[in-house]
Amino acid sequence: MSAVTVSNISPSTTQEKLHEFFSFCGNIKSIDLKSDGDSKPSAVVTFEKPSSAGTALMLNGGTLDGEHLHITSDVEFNNHHEQSQHSSSPFEQSDKPRAGIAAEYLAKGYKLSDHILQRAIEIDNKQGISKRFLDYMRGLDTSVGQKALGPDQTVSGKLQSTIRGAQTRAKTIDDQKGYSKIAHEYYSKAISSPLGKSVFDFYTNTSKQVRDIHEEARRMVDHQPATSSAAGNAAHATSTGAAGPDAQPSPATQAAPTVV
């Protein structure tokens, strides 16, 4: 059973808020939220995949509605990536690096301590990056490189050899031809930017630091509407190591970046 038990939930937290919080981990099958008299509510969150439950355990101590969630399970999840034979998308939420998922939480205004971010890094170091996610990012590396830099070029390869010149050329051509503007999801836009190599490295290498997660969260915030209250919270979060006291994602930006 791919389930975790969540306790110390704020009385103001609804099932919908729990679903929003844990949806970053992967597809959720059910949430059983219970309130027992004067004690704080608890819930059992059941996921479709064991790796999603493992990611949820990584979030133990995260803050929701001002309370530090206690997330436990009697089962030890190994966080290995399961292969899906029926997915129509290049990858699923559960295929993403855990450091990337942690950055999504920060970018949406949730409060995660640096200890939680370190757990995410340790999971990535132990399990590596899923083949489906790597294949997707490598495909972007090639396609964006060819469009911005010329035939047989990649963002990562070109920037390694001539960083400053290639960055300038990639930015200029992207502005002229609008590759970022016509890209309809986060990863294409991010890898098309002058920081494309940094984005590529973040998602394809397991060697990361806590500061790298904060930097990726800032990049995500830059792709959110300027009027988003969550973006303001996340900007504060990535400069101080935590989000505001009761930071919550705004309804307009609560979904994690996904492939469409």
Reduce the secondary structure of the chain to three states and give it as a string.
Answer: CCEEEEECCCCCCCHHHHHHHHHHHCCEEEEEEECCCCCCCEEEEEECCHHHHHHHHHCCCCEECCEECEEECCCCCCCCCCCCCCCCCCCCHHHCCHHHHHHHHHHCCCECCHHHHHHHHHHHHHHCCCHHHHHHHHHHHHHHHHHHHCCCCCHHHHHHHCHHHHHHHHHHHHHHHCHHHHCCCHHHHHHHCCCHHHHHHHHHCCCCCHHHHHHHHHHHHHCCCCCCHHHHHHHHHHHHCCCCCCCCCCHHHCCCCCCC
Question: pLDDT tens-digit profile of 164-187?
Answer: 455 455 454 444 444 434 334 788
Looking at residue 57, what is its pLDDT? Answer: 96
Instruction: Name the percent of the chain lying above pLDDT 70.
Output: 65
- Tokens 């969550």 belong to 230
Section 141-155 average pLDDT: 68
Taking the whole predicted model, whether its pTM rises above 0.85 is answered as no
pLDDT at res. 173: 46
Residue 204: how many other CB atoms lie within 10 Å: 15
pLDDT in tens, 32-60: 999 877 789 999 999 999 999 999 999 99
Q: Report how far residue 119's alpha carbon sits from residue 99's, in angstroms, rounded to the nearest whole number.
A: 9
Fold adopted by 1-95: Alpha-Beta Plaits (3.30.70)
Give me the pLDDT at residue 90, please: 75
What pLDDT score was predicted for residue 194? 80
Average pLDDT on 64-76 reads 93
Using alpha carbons only, what angle is made at residue 223 by residues 65 and 253, rounded to the nearest 5 degrees? 35
Check residue 95 and give its pLDDT. 92
Averaged over 216-235, what is the pLDDT? 63
Q: Distance between CA atoms of 234 and 33, rounded to whole angstroms?
A: 28
Domain-wise residue ranges, the chain: 1-95, 133-201
pLDDT band at residue 225 using 50, 70 and 90 as cut-offs: low
Stretch 119-137: mean pLDDT = 93
Overall average pLDDT of the 104-120 stretch: 96
Residue 29 has a pLDDT of: 96
φ, ψ for residue 150, nearest 5 deg: 120, 170
Q: What average pLDDT does range 74-81 have in this prediction? A: 68
Tokens read off for 156: 């990562």
Over residues 92-112, the mean pLDDT reads 95
The two three-digit tokens of residue 70, written as one number: 């206690």
Report the distance separating Cα 33 and Cα 27, nearest Å: 17
Average pLDDT of span 96-102: 96
State percent of the chain over pLDDT 90. Answer: 51
Q: Reduced to 3 states, what is the DSSP secondary structure of residue 231?
A: helix
Distance separating alpha carbons of residues 161 and 218, to the nearest angstrom = 26
Query: Looking at the predicted structure, is the pLDDT value of residue 63 above 50?
Result: yes
pLDDT at 105 over 90: yes
Q: Which of 34-43, 126-135, 175-184, 221-230 has the lowest mean pLDDT?
A: 175-184
Please indicate whether residue 15 or residue 192 has the higher confidence score (pLDDT). Answer: 15
